[in-house]
Structure 1
Amino acid sequence: MTLLVFGKTGQVATELARLAPDAIFLGRDDADLSNPAACVAAIKRHAPTGVINAAAFTAVDKAEDEEPLATVINGEAPGAMARACAELDIPFVHISTDYVFDGSGQDPWRPDDQTAPIGAYGRSKRAGEDAVRAAGGTHVIMRTSWVFSAHGGNFVKTMLRLGAERDALRIVSDQIGGPTGAADIATTALRALDTIATKPDLYGTYHYSGAPDTSWAGFAKAIFDEAGLSVAVEEIPTTDYPTPAARPLNSRMDCSSLEAAFGIERPDWRAGLKDVIKELNA
């Protein structure tokens, strides 16, 4: 398979490059997602046999002030990619997010649950999902959550930095979800792409997040324990940590349909965390 990946320096794209070094990776200079036509041109120019979109506008708070741009990058560009892939009859995998839901309740979100994003980022990602489905091609939309790795900016690296500077931190404890290693997401995206290339009837929307579900405070404690840092974690409610964009309280994801279709189980994020901290220490 000749693989084309939109994204080059992001967390998932970096892990994809490790797993598929012969793939073609397109950064902003190669295909700017703020120009959807450039994405279409890139697909037609490279003529791949499979495409993964691992690029996105991911600055959740910034999206509140730049929703039109976020909607082009997260909404219109994936739709353009999907239409090009449908025209060329090649499979397409698009990475999405739990932010398409409103975060209510305590039950894990199923892929067919009603979406109701509570912020600009979530609205932009839902627009992308809708556009990918409307393209009518063979695709997998893979919603994930709480991505972490040794690369880029993420919660693990932030906690390690703050934990080295302070002996106590106040961390939100009423937002619950599944931390997900970027390496696991990359592996699953490749497997899904390979599978739908020969079994296109498995197209659709799936959930993939790490297990077990935990809070940000619980995740932080695990990070400090694994890193050998002595940091006291004070658990606080979301209301004590206001942000420009609202965060979903419930990011639990029902991943059973992914396991049924592809045989892929939820990864244990604690194993992924161990690998990430080992890499950072190296």
Structure 2
Amino acid sequence: MSWLTRVRERLPFMSKRETPDNLWVKCPRCQEMVFQKEYEANLYVCPKCEHHGRIGADARLEQLLDAGYSVLPAPQVADDPLNFRDTKRYKDRIKAARASNPRPDAFTAAYGAIDGVPAVVGVQDFTFMGGSMGMAVGDAFIAAAQKALDARCGFVCVTAAGGARMQEGILSLMQMPRATVMTRRLKEAGLPYIVVLADPTTGGVTASYAMLGDVHIAEPGALIGFAGQRVIQETIREKLPEGFQRAEYLHKHGMVDMVVPRGELKATLASILGYLSPAKAA
């Protein structure tokens, strides 16, 4: 017992100083403690090792869009279409996820501008049931793409997901072709569809709209793949190379067009959109 604790016990009027529990953040890569405000000011990137932390939909929209953007309405879908239950009821899982998240599901879209260039930005939030793709995500993606078609502007999709939502079974897998159809419509309309691959982007999301962009940008160190590394190793019975399924490895091997740090992402997107978006009629 320290001398200060003993003094407090003898002097009951001397209260323990209250301090917030969230003053510091521990970087998962370098294990260094980073001041919370410094971490947020640096766009949730560790200033010591440049590890790009996972962020929610609202923070991502604020980082990418100019002030004054409007969030698109969340789609209304059945909460538990299959009456699914594993160790918990699916309805209970959804309720818990919504209680700890400001958005009703894992995909949120908004319409606004990126450095003055009109765009729709859709963001997948990994904190909501691992960003899993269910009917709500599929409908939100389709609504965002339709907004881009109506506004004649580019569509930027930021992906971060563990794949299809197992609790919705075949209904979750049906979102893959539905989203693919919308990317095709954007292409036919001559509108740019840009994908930002955040950590992690895996499973059915990778197998559909995450890899159908005109331009693919990855954040540094992002995990990107379909099946897990252990599954692949056990299937092919070979040791995988260092950094396999990371953004830099995929960029080197031609699956990603560029790896862009978060601080440069907005300017990069504005430049690409400005170049690819159709010219406005005079």
What's the TM-score bracket when you normalise by the shorter of the two chains? 0.3 to 0.5
Higher relative contact order (CA 8 A, sep 6+): 1
TM-score, L = length of structure 2: 0.35
The structure that is helix-richer by fraction is: 1
TM-score, L = length of structure 1: 0.35
Larger Rg computed on CA atoms: 2
